Structure 1
């Protein structure tokens, strides 16, 4: 779309906000009273209200909780004559609803009474919308994922508790757009971006369009080397329509950064070891060795709370927004209240996919005919007959330029395991001033203590055994008989294998209870100085201390409790 470098829009505002901001509109409804009914409200005269909201849940709802939440939403909507669309998944709710203003607020309040979690929800209500924009029926689907990122389930979905980006209110985001050290990332699909996008001021942030056909491509875009160069060392500002896509997108980036920490420090050493080994043994590199590292460390990862929808309400003259906000309800689009449609359309350069005449409206169910695409395309009124009769001829801009994401799909389950290992081990739970990750809910490590005699081991091979771990942690000198003292120390090392939450299989990590704090300290020192390797395994094992949780959390689930600990020589592979 066309971007402009400057304009002469008025910045006057009766509420005195900077750059014409209506600051009150920037505030989320989370943990606040719902907005009151419009003045002199009349159900007959005031049209309908539109409600947009989403709420993620951690840990995931169980099957029964999932069904119960679905029933409650349906019950509240039916009682209040609400129509619209909704998705209810084990990870939460995502809804766009229409109905009378009073009933809409009763739905919000009903959800808060159903589960206190919904006090966290940012209910975005737009009143006095024409009745013609009301959904005709109610459709609530039971799904596995709220947004199709391909992240369903605990095995791959990044934890919002640990990795969610920092929320910025609309007026704060507006200020951040003026930072030359920032990069703005539009996490919507490219056909939405064609109608509108942020245009940071000269000397401000740089806008980056990932050119997504769908959200599943986002992780491939993140691991692209060119993307990493764009984001590295920058403040990353993400935005989407209403905020939901940014929740997972920011968490995914932060999780990748956490999973890759220390990789760059070891990269040269590991590459040299691999090269020497290959030269000496004439062995080809394994596919694991060929995996590219994630070499990106942003200065912070942020998201626009409430999305474009709230920004446009906060800045009636548009602020740094240009064009239309593509919507997924019967309104179809949103423009700044203080601007005319004619003025807005002059900023857009989207065209009809048939005749290439300027056109700024998606109408009808036309989509790209290219294999593995199928995204919506713009067809003007002059070309509807041709498009209907020749749907195979329709092609989106990305397919026309033969664009495909370059990077392969990353192993998201592996990335999540690595990141969570570091959180568990104590390297990812602190507030990170570089990545702006949220701390774990259990508190920062500076308010907790670590176990002096417990270690966390990761990067273990599937061939790991308790005996190999014991011998690696307390090495045996080249002597025929092991000393009685050393044999006792070996036998006193206890190992608790860690399992994947979903598959319940070993994923290369364990906790170790050492015989003494002194021996644990010695292992940490050797791991830092020379590295620790298991017999027959080339790669170093990563070693760190285990941090204590709150006492009441540890009473029933201490893996080394004398009444519950079970020694297992081999990890639970299956």
Structure 2
């Protein structure tokens, strides 16, 4: 398969064998991945996805743009593995972190439909991720993206600054902030918590609100080593580039490679992550071995973190947590952001559907890091990634 997205011809026998992979018995799985790269022929690549994903009986969402690919797919694990093999034969996907997780098949058709897991959707887009919905803001060059840290490296930095155990840290905890690049409804049910380390939760409705939040909080970020995280990595790519594009004082931006998903794989007990990781497919959320619940019911305040009912704010349509008891007695809800802004009827229109949020990797060697080079200054723009095995 060349970089245009066209596979070399296969024999009829081989093609038939590939087509059969998606139809037999076997365990179910979800595959997430993304790749920022120049795509020379996006329509051809989209057509390939349409053809091969259907042949393998895969469902989900694929977005193809001139700047790369973003995919969230579900199907039989054998079919997903075949898809990985097919995409890996294209040099365009060199270094891509294909995250494959086995799981139960979708059982709630309503949730599966809302998350796009009842059919296949392949779309051509102008850009993979819309960071700046305001036309007056310029989308940053992805080459400015922050440096990737593997789950182990990210954890080591948090451990060092959280306990003050690394004497090489120039000023300890005060020099490091942890920044959550996700939406409020995700943060409600799970987030990083590190003792003695400031963690910033923007409390935004949608990703395109993040640049404004960053602009309004530049002094909290200036001169800091910023440890960013999101579900799987793609949102940190562009958001970290946006921060670093601000120039002097914003050079030290680091992103959790593979996001929370890879972190929980590395640390099944949760590590420094509390609660559950909100995911944009029929699973809804994925937790660690810890059985702690961070979320609370919007109405009664009881401990609750289940979004399967898909309750939404009556004004802005953001997902809200409402326990089963309160669902029986209350049918309209106003989210905390609408209440905070004193709006009983928001003058905004936000569609909070499930969205793909897969991953990227740019291979590079990151050796054993002391705190001094874990958060060392890097004035040259660029993102030094590291491939982490699935």
Q: Measure, in 1, the Cα distance between the counterparts of 2:155 and 2:379.
A: 19
Query: Over the residues paired in the alignment, what is the CA RMSD in angstroms?
Result: 2.8
SS state of the match for residue 53, structure 1?
A: strand
Distance 2:93 2:55 in 1: 19
Which of 281, 290, 313 aligns to 2:265? It is 313
Structure 1 residues 247-262: aligned runs within 5 Å: 247-257=237-247, 261=248
Q: Residues of 2 paired with 1:92 and 1:304: CA distance?
A: 20
Quote the residue 2:81 is aligned against: 105
2:324 matched to 1:381?
A: yes
Deviations along 1:303-359, one digit per CA (max 9) or x if unpaired, are 0000001100100111101000011111111111x33xxx222xx1x3222333332
| Correspondences of 1:113-128 after superposition (within 5 Å) | 113=89, 115-127=90-102
SS in 1 for 2:245: helix
Task: Return the offset for 1:152.
Answer: 10
Larger Rg: 1
Paired residue for 1:493? none
- Equivalent positions of 1:152-171 (< 5 A) are 156-161=138-143, 163-171=144-152
Offset at residue 251 of structure 1 (A) = 0.5
What are the residue-to-residue correspondences of 1:152-551 with 2, within 5 Å? 156-161=138-143, 163-178=144-159, 179=161, 180=173, 181-200=175-194, 202-203=195-196, 205-224=197-216, 227-257=217-247, 261=248, 297-298=249-250, 300-336=252-288, 338-339=289-290, 343-345=291-293, 348=294, 350-370=295-315, 373-388=316-331, 391=332, 394-402=333-341, 434-435=377-378, 437-439=380-382
Higher relative contact order (CA 8 A, sep 6+): 2
Aligned residue pairs total 310
Shift of 1:54: 0.9
User: Is the contact between residue 309 and residue 325 of structure 1 (CA under 8 Å) also seen in structure 2?
Assistant: yes
TM-score between both structures, scaled by the size of structure 1: 0.50
Pair 1:141 & 2:127 matched: no
| In 2, Cα distance between equivalents of 1:231 and 1:100 | 44
Q: Deviations over 1:109-156 (max 9, x none)?
A: 22233x3121121110113x1223683321223323323323699x93
Alignment of 1:73-88 (within 5 A): 73-88=49-64
Aligned to 1:177, the other structure's residue is in SS state helix
Distance in 2 (CA, whole Å) between partners of 1:325 and 1:70 is 29
Query: Structure 1, unaligned stretches of length 5 or more?
Result: 1-42, 262-296, 405-431, 442-574
Change over 3 Å in CA distance of 1:99–1:436 after alignment to 2: farther
TM-score (norm 2): 0.73
Q: CA deviation at 1:435?
A: 4.4
Conserved in 2, the CA contact under 8 Å of 1:366 and 1:387?
A: no
> 1:139–1:77: structure 2 CA closer, same or farther, 3 Å change rule?
same
Q: Secondary structure at the match of 1:77?
A: helix
CA distance in 2, matches of 1:176, 1:403: 39
The answer as to whether partners of 2:53 and 2:59 remain within 8 angstroms in 1 is: yes
Change (3 A) 1:437 1:106: farther
Please give the secondary structure, in 1, of the residue aligned with 2:243: helix
Q: Per-residue CA shift, 1:427-469, capped at 9, x if unaligned? A: xxxxx9634543599xxxxxxxxxxxxxxxxxxxxxxxxxxxx
Q: In structure 1, what is the equivalent of residue 4 of structure 2?
A: none
State the distance in 1 between where 2:93 and 2:134 align: 21
